[in-house]
Amino acid sequence: MAEAAVETVRSEADVLRTIAAGRGDAAYGQLFLVLLDERHAVYAGMDPATITRVRGALIHALADRGLSPAAERFVLAELESAYDPWLTAVCAAALRRRPAPAPDHVQPLLEAILYVGQRDDQIRLDCYGGYGDAGEPTTAVTEILRTLAWLGACGQSALPRLRELATTMVGEVNRDALAAAVAAIEADPQATVEPGCPPIVVVDRALPPELAGSRLQDHAERELSFKEFFVGAPTVVVFFFTRCGNPAKCPLTVSRLGHLQSRLVAEGHAIRTAAFTYDPAYDIPRRMAQYARSWGARLGEEHRFFRTLDDPEPLRAFFDLGASYGPAGVTQHQLEAFVLDRRATIVRAVRRRRWDEAELLAAAASL
Amino acid sequence: MGTIDEYRKSLREQVEAARERRKQAQWGAELESLGAPDVLGHARGGDADRAALLTASVGSGASGDPELRAAVLGGLVARSEPDRAHEVPLERLADGAEHPRVRLAALLLLKQLSFSSRTFAAWRPEYLTGLRVALSVPELRLPAFGVLTGMGDRRAQELLVEGLKDPTAALVPTADALNLLSNDPHADVREVAREIADNPPDDRALEAALRHLATDPASEPRLRAILDDVRKPIAARKTAATALFAQGHEDLLPPAPPALNALVDVEANRDPVVEHVHSLKRHRQVGL
């Protein structure tokens, strides 16, 4: 029933009906996870505010019976690029529904405090969308700090940062929550495991003919085919769009690309980099070049920003991009990065988490 | 001839309205300069001043005059510890029993403090809550929405969009809702803006809708139709021209209006929209 149901969910109202029907029912867990995927048709044409409400409601429902490992990935991804206070608070609270804390939870929680701390809001977890009268009011930072306290010994790597925050955090409620988190972590005597990094995913997807000849335009207005740039040398590929409103996503992606490019040049690697825009109609070459420079990326023969001039679907399908679109353009997207070999075959992928320069460099250098 | 006169009249009215708005915005909002006596006439310096101001603002001896209480609020903030200056204005803003003039003064003071206060991150949630409470008061709606949309508040965006889709739920006029939503490029109202452009409730709403459609390539035919229709308001036709220009369509000159009477004042036959298009082209040529 759930498999058939996923095809029929096409609107916010459909999602809410599905959640109402399946909340607390383990059989619906997989359906909720499918609906969280940015590529699901329910998000086509949906505006960003509605997407936020829908995703928050799905995560809230998934946490009802305990958060599964599959759901945890979505929660950590939202925390790593925290933006909306209610959605962030829902994710922080949902993490406490894992059977046990883990050291890997620390970094996303600390990033969430960094990004949402300056745009926090008073919300109610149990209200759809966060605003209403049901339940106790709370804030995103308060929920993040509560989750850090829940980590106990697993949160030890957070202590330096939390002690630093204690010297600058203002507001009685948050100061109390921060003190409680530090006390809970320090008081837990259990031995800890060092946080690990989720492995980079091995992929083997060859360049399809319909994409090989498709036309691209780079930041300098030069036109060329996909294979002209991507065949011949390993390439690291990231995605962005200039109208991204989340500083923890595209601006940070391009900034980190700049760091990676500097390492490639300094260490003499014959590895190219490419940044594709999710938004080719709006991101004309001049805008892409300005964006790259603004956020510290290099531009040159081996390091280019691209947009597609032909139908973007073959590119989206090749990279299996995690993005959705509305009338005004991109409405949401994952963090994702790829490594292509000399034949432009995708050999590595990082999805739904922040990529590490060292891991992409190691993967590309080994080709 | 009538068209030029209407345009000039409209321009005069807009200037007068802007002058009136500037007068109102200054009321009760200024932090007093150092050295000036406070609004109660007391010399500056010391806790006695602050206590007197607090009493005059919110205590049992509070003045019944909302304008005085609004002015006192500014003096109180100026004399407060920087990290706590927001406290009394926050209380006033969220107090449903307080006079709208005082609440507006509080809102404007808090807006200034949101830039200067080092503790703003801590009281931001309470500030947003107070602004949302203020939305229930007609006199406070536009200023509160202005602050909320400027801060990218999702809830404010949702309320405005709801009002555009269902006029019975509208908290502000259509044009104001569209203009407020333009503060956030991710507020996706193109669909609604198209419908409003096709069937506008008033001229202001038409102009506001056209501004939104400047980034909508699919609206090119709609914008051209408005530009070419001399029966449409001049301001709307100019906005359509600007929108088309922004989309890269520089072949904009509308058909020449018929020469109504070659013997009358030449100025009467000049289409201000044609002049506007020429102006856009000149600006593009000099790189503006």
Mean pLDDT of B130-155: 95
Q: Which of the 8 DSSP states describes residue A237?
A: E
**Token pair in block for residue A113:** 């405090």
List, as ranges, residues 244-263 from A with C-beta within 8 Å of B. Answer: 245
Predicted pLDDT at B62? 62
In single-letter form, the type of residue at position B126 comes to E
Give the model confidence (pLDDT) of A308-338 as tens digits. 999 999 999 999 999 999 877 899 999 999 9
Burial A282-316 (b: 16+ CB within 10 A, else e): bbbbebbbebbeebebbbeebbbbbbbebebebbb
B43 CB neighbour count, 10 Å cutoff: 11
Q: Do A328 and B123 touch (CB under 8 A)?
A: no
Q: Do A121 and B83 touch (CB under 8 A)?
A: no
Q: What are phi and psi of A209, to 5 degrees?
A: -60, -35
Mean pLDDT of A236-254: 96
Mean pLDDT of B95-110: 95
For helices B190-198 and B174-181, what crossing angle results, to 10°?
150
Mean pLDDT of B270-284: 79
Residue A153 pLDDT greater than 60, yes or no: yes
Residue B266 pLDDT greater than 60, yes or no: no
Mean pLDDT of B63-88: 88
Predicted pLDDT at B262? 45
Question: Is ipTM over 0.90?
Answer: no
In single-letter form, the type of residue at position A95 comes to L
SS3 B41: coil
- What confidence tier does B67 reach under pLDDT thresholds 50, 70, 90? confident
What's CA B183's distance to the chain center, in Å?
Answer: 10
Q: Which of the 8 DSSP states describes residue B144?
A: H
Residue A360 pLDDT greater than 90, yes or no: yes
Beta bridge pairs of residue A122: A139
Rounded to a whole number of angstroms, the distance from the CA of B155 to the nearest CA of chain A is 7
Residue B25 pLDDT greater than 50, yes or no: no
Question: Is residue A111 within 8 angstroms of chain B, CB to CB?
Answer: no
Predicted pLDDT at A329? 84
Residue B148 pLDDT greater than 50, yes or no: yes
Residue B263 pLDDT greater than 60, yes or no: no
Residue B160 pLDDT greater than 70, yes or no: yes
Task: Tell me the C-alpha distance between A93 and A61, whole Å.
Answer: 12
Task: Tell me the C-alpha distance between B11 and B3, whole Å.
Answer: 12
Task: Tell me the C-alpha distance between B194 and B206, whole Å.
Answer: 10
Contacts across the A-B interface (CB distance below 8 Å): 71
What is the helix (H) or strand (E) element at residue A202, kind and residue range?
Answer: strand A201-205
What is the helix (H) or strand (E) element at residue A3, kind and residue range?
Answer: helix A2-8
| Token pair 């919300």: residue | A123
Better-scored residue on pLDDT, B69 or A224: A224
Rounded to a whole number of angstroms, the distance from the CA of A127 to the nearest CA of chain B is 12
Give the model confidence (pLDDT) of A61-118 as tens digits. 999 989 999 999 999 999 999 999 999 999 999 999 999 999 999 999 999 999 999 9
Chain B, nearest residue to A120 by Cα: B125
